[in-house]
Amino acid sequence: MFDLTDDLITSQSPTLRDLRSFTAENADALACAAALLGAAPGVRTALTALDGLADPGHPTARTMRALDDLVDLLMLEHVHDPYRIEATCFAA
């Protein structure tokens, strides 16, 4: 969902600024949704992404991976896989 290349993400880029603004305004809701859809691992993913985006400068690779995982969680990408926690949480 977030196809952010090195050309688009700089510490001054409007794309990154908008993303940081959105996550800062909705951090609690994102963490709660992650808890409902992914239990403790989902919360860890959300907090890693949110904390990484709160840091100034260019997001690290770890932050970008966590952000991708958070998007997958929120988009229900893995609820069909019975071996993942998302399937159990979604069924509940």
- Which pLDDT value is given to residue 48? 98
Tell me, yes or no, whether 34 lies in a domain: yes
Q: Domain containing 69: what range?
A: 14-91
Q: Is 90 exceeded by the pLDDT of residue 8? A: no
Tell me, yes or no, whether 4 lies in a domain: no
Q: Which amino acid is at 5?
A: T
Q: Which amino acid is at 61?
A: A
Tell me, yes or no, whether 42 lies in a domain: yes
- Cβ neighbours for 32, distance < 8 A, ≥ 6 positions apart: none
Tell me, yes or no, whether 22 lies in a domain: yes
Instruction: Read off the pLDDT of each residue in 24-30 and give the average, rounded to a whole number.
Output: 97
Instruction: Read off the pLDDT of each residue in 10-29 and give the average, rounded to a whole number.
Output: 90
- Number of compact structural domains in the chain: 1
For 59-72, what is each residue's pLDDT tens digit? Answer: 999 999 999 999 99
Tell me, yes or no, whether 9 lies in a domain: no
Q: Scan for tokens 């690290």, then name that residue.
A: 60
